[in-house]
Amino acid sequence: MKICIVGAGAIGGWLGVNLAQQGHEISVLARGANLVAIQKNGLQLIQTQPQPLHHVAAVKASDHPAELGPQDLVIVAVKAPAMAEVAKAMTPLLATHTMVMTAMNGVPWWFFQGFGGKLEDTCLATIDPGGSIAKAIPAHHVVGCVVHASCSLDSPGVVRHHFGQGLIVGEPAQQQGQTSARIVNLLTHLNAAGFTASTSNQIQKDVWYKLWGNMTVNPISAFTGATTDLILKDDLVRDFVSKIMLEAKAIGAQIGISIDQTPEDRHAMTLKLGAFKTSMLQDVEAGKSVELDALVSAVRELGQLTQVATPYTDALLGLSRLHASVRGLYPSQ
């Protein structure tokens, strides 16, 4: 396949190198120091499990989409705040058949595409004000992807994979639980590249379940500097996290994507992963913009749309955005 990685950071780089190992024609849309490093040294991946390995993939890298041309698959792995600008630039990468697979945290712009019910095709103002992203990337291109893996950037163009190989993919507008031929083909390529990939009957539900776990620990880690184990071992903070999760759970029930677990069930899963820095904490330490809107603001907006009260989510958002705004990592209110 002809595959372009848009956003060759930690997750995008990890996906790109593994797919390159299987002979796919990989290109990268990048800029700045990342672009220079990839052009000079290739896209690099360091892994420690199950054994130490250092892969280098020779890829075509450019900051001009037209130089890369139409693709079979575009993997979008940028942070949510950059998505509106990225979407405008992606047109040269899209042919009629191109799949656009989003490997991003939080609520995506396509969340209510094909959703059904009264929220069908709702455009969330906190994610895609004015619907500009949805207009730039028509719905038939979109494939959602939920990533269950931890990666970080050692330096520009150099990715370190810590743990996890899980990918869940699905089309937002999938009809009656049927899996399309293109998703079956994509799944084959992803598994051949070493990922543990599976399909979803409703990808929005998988997105919401992952969000349920990281909408709290990500921002709390960002303004405290604490790893996930420390957050959940503090009884007062853990109770705060649980109350936020119960609000999100109530919203999910209102829109038809209920969660059967309790917050304590999810805490137990997170604690099994040990002490690790969330992606948002890594962004703060690197001086990068934080994706609060996709993880927290969108939940508050959904609470307003469904008339579910969100006082604890509101408190988390206020604290998080104040912390980030003071550091120039989030627009000032």
List, by residue number, the catalytic residues.
210
User: DSSP 3-state helix, strand, coil percentages of the chain (rounded to 5)?
Assistant: 50, 20, 30
- Nearest Cα neighbor of 148 from 192, 213, 222, 83 is 213
- 238: its two tokens: 């853990």
CA distance 207 to 1: 26
Handedness of CA 327, 225, 148, 212 (dihedral sign): negative
DSSP string, 287-318: TPPP-HIIIIIHHHHHHHHHT---HHHHHHHH
CA dihedral 87, 91, 96, 97 (to 10 degrees): -60
C-alpha count within 13 angstroms, C-beta hemisphere, residue 214:
27
CA distance 166 to 108: 19
- 31: its two tokens: 């800029």
Q: Looking at beta carbons, which pairs linking 264-269 to residues 24 or more positions away fall under 8 Å? A: 266/212, 266/213, 267/232, 267/238, 267/241, 267/242, 269/213
Q: What is the CA radius of gyration of the chain?
A: 19
CA distance 99 to 83: 17
